[in-house]
Amino acid sequence: EAGVAQSPRYKIIEKRQSVAFWCNPISGHATLYWYQQILGQGPKLLIQFQNNGVVDDSQLPKDRFSAERLKGVDSTLKIQPAKLEDSAVYLCASSGKRDTQYFGPGTRLTVL
Amino acid sequence: GQQVMQIPQYQHVQEGEDFTTYCNSSTTLSNIQWYKQRPGGHPVFLIQLVKSGEVKKQKRLTFQFGEAKKNSSLHITATQTTDVGTYFCAFRRMGLRGSARQLTFGSGTQLTVLP
């Protein structure tokens, strides 16, 4: 069974630029999550999708962050414009009928 | 708001020694999960505990959920260098609408095993 795929693995941008991350969850998993993990901290949930609907986006900075999962499979997370404090690893995870979350390798974002 | 503390933040042990990390909550938890994240890697699910007083074992790892469902521990017997990484507890709040399904991660315990 293929795991959660994410791209790119690394991204370096300057502040005020835009960036987008892509996630392909495990086949058949209805729930998809985006987390932000700042160095030395635990992952923080940004947004949770159930199929193509948003379940929880209470911690998503909506003035600059957006996410979509149009067909209920792949998802993209966008930051526009980026700030220095957005430097972090962005993790995508998916879960099926069980509560177990399977994480992708993450995208390490550096904002200069 | 709900306070969950994970301690210690760092732990250095000699290979062969035991290791324990704790998650302590100020309120009752619905369930608790434990994840391991290797350096440079992503979190990997280890176990979920749901019942009061539950104890589960995976080889050298023992997981406990307190009777009051307010605390949990992960104990590793006779650590090996392969145990190196950060161990996170992750929990769901009990009895709250709306955000009840959100999984919140603790701050993690970073384990270093010295050969």
What does the pLDDT look like over A32-90, one tens digit per residue? 999 999 999 999 999 999 998 999 899 999 999 999 998 889 999 999 999 999 999 99
Task: Work out how many CB contacts closer than 8 A connect A with B.
Answer: 45
> In residues, how long is chain B?
115
Q: How far apart are CA B23 and CA B32, in angstroms?
A: 9
Interface of A with B in 43-102 (CB under 8 A): 43-45, 48, 55-56, 58, 91, 93, 99-102
pLDDT of A98: 81
pLDDT of A99: 79
Q: Which runs of E-coded beta strand occur in A38-106? A: 44-50, 53-56, 65-68, 75-79, 88-95, 102-103
On whether the CB atoms of residues B84 and B97 are closer than 8 A, the answer is: no
The percent of residues in chain B predicted with pLDDT above 90, rounded, is 77
pLDDT of B33: 95
Residue numbers in A near B102 (CB within 8 A): 45, 48, 56, 58
pLDDT of A70: 82
Residue B55 has pLDDT above 80, yes or no: yes
Overall average pLDDT of the B69-77 stretch: 96
Q: Tell whether B26 lies on the interface with A, counting CB pairs under 8 A.
A: no
Q: Tell whether B30 lies on the interface with A, counting CB pairs under 8 A.
A: no
Q: How far is CA B83 from CA A7, A92, B54, B77, in A?
A: 28, 24, 23, 10
On whether the CB atoms of residues A16 and A33 are closer than 8 A, the answer is: no
pLDDT of B101: 60
pLDDT of A22: 97
Residue B98 has pLDDT above 90, yes or no: no
Residue of A25, A31, A23 whose CA lies nearest to A2: A25
Residue B94 has pLDDT above 80, yes or no: no
